[in-house]
């Protein structure tokens, strides 16, 4: 079974996608999300092989969602659905290696054909990918420099590397390359040793750093967000609030109030 994630803020479109496409015949398990954040939460539990995503959605748009998935190492086949034919969307889609850019209204038979084609490509890659066989094969395929180190040494080095680069656009490919191991082996080690995914760990460390800076520095919210990798204040605020229940400003005011008291 392949995992498919459908993301659209409009319930009727989600219902149509779920009911019209013959998912069971294609041996696909379908999950749905009404927002980008909900989609990320689902991805942390069920790794999607195919993502069908609307572009324009509130809170987190489709392109931001795809960017987060790619940063997290997702190799999912992505099909963008949009009612807007704008060059900038297409340019971003190319950047994120999107498989198809489909304009609404949706021609469901053509969409089905696209999905079937993506399915065949995924299965073909799995049959030829040594990383899909066993964990042992993953370890054997790692480079010599990585293989000479124990998993504990690799993860200690990874944690140090992350800590030194919280403010950069850090991704799995860069970190695995630094360690001299494959991305697949890195993801396996990281989750087994730390109990969370790379993205979850990175976000947690960024939030911890933000809380410290909000409490112990006079830097602006924008400066703090930028220093830990969030160039847009609005997005930094949303991520921070999702993890703490408070906006950065509210958190700073609250901690100052406790200090004053």
Domain residue ranges in the chain: 2-127, 151-195, 200-259
Which CATH number applies to 2-127? 3.40.50.2300
pLDDT in the model for residue 184: 77
pLDDT in the model for residue 140: 42
Query: What does the alpha-carbon distance between residue 2 and residue 76 come to, in Å, rounded to a whole number?
Result: 11
Pick the CATH number of 200-259 from 1.20.58.220, 3.40.309.10, 2.80.10.50, 1.10.10.60: 1.10.10.60
Walk across the sheet containing 2-7 and list its strands.
Answer: 28-33, 2-7, 50-54, 77-82, 100-103
Phi, psi of 231 (to 5 degrees): -75, -25
pLDDT for 261 beyond 70: no
Return the H-helix or E-strand segment holding 96. Answer: none
Band of residue 245 on the pLDDT scale cut at 50, 70, 90: very high
Contact (CB, 8 A) for 5 and 51: yes
Residue identified by tokens 């065949």 is 120
Average pLDDT over residues 128-157: 57
3-class SS string, 183-249: HHHHHHHHHHHHCCCHHHHHHHHHHHHHHHHHHHCCCCHHHHHHHCCCCCHHHHHHHHHHHHCCCHH
Q: Over the stretch 172-216, which tens digit does the pLDDT of each residue have?
A: 989 988 888 888 778 878 888 888 889 999 999 999 999 999 998
Q: Which residue has the higher pLDDT, 140 or 89?
A: 89
Average pLDDT over residues 220-238: 93
pLDDT in the model for residue 57: 81
Contact (CB, 8 A) for 96 and 224: no
pLDDT for 69 beyond 70: yes
Average pLDDT of the chain is: 83
């Amino acid at each position: 079974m392949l995992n498919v994630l459908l993301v659209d803020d409009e319930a009727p479109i989600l219902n149509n996608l779920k009911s019209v496409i013959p998912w069971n015949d294609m041996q696909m398990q379908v999950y749905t999300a009404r927002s980008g954040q909900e989609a990320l939460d689902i991805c942390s539990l069920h790794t999607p092989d195919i993502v069908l995503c609307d572009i324009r959605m509130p809170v987190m748009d489709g392109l931001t969602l795809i960017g987060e998935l790619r940063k997290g190492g997702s190799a999912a086949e992505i099909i963008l659905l949009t009612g807007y034919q704008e060059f900038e969307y297409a340019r971003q889609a190319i950047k994120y290696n999107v498989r198809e850019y489909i304009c609404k209204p949706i021609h469901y038979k053509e969409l089905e054909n696209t999905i079937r084609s993506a399915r065949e490509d995924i299965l073909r890659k799995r049959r030829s990918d040594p990383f899909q066989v066993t964990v042992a094969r993953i370890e054997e395929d790692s480079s010599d420099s990585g293989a000479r180190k124990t998993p504990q040494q690799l993860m200690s080095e990874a944690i140090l590397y992350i800590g030194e680069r919280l403010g950069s656009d850090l991704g799995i490919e860069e970190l695995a390359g630094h360690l001299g191991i494959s991305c697949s082996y890195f993801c396996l080690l990281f989750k087994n040793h730390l109990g969370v995914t790379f993205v979850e760990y990175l976000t947690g460390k960024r939030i911890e750093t933000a809380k410290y800076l909000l409490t112990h520095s006079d830097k602006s919210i924008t400066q703090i967000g930028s220093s830990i990798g969030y160039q847009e204040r609005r997005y930094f605020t949303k991520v921070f609030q999702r993890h703490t229940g408070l906006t950065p400003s509210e958190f700073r005011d609250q901690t100052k109030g406790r200090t004053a008291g």
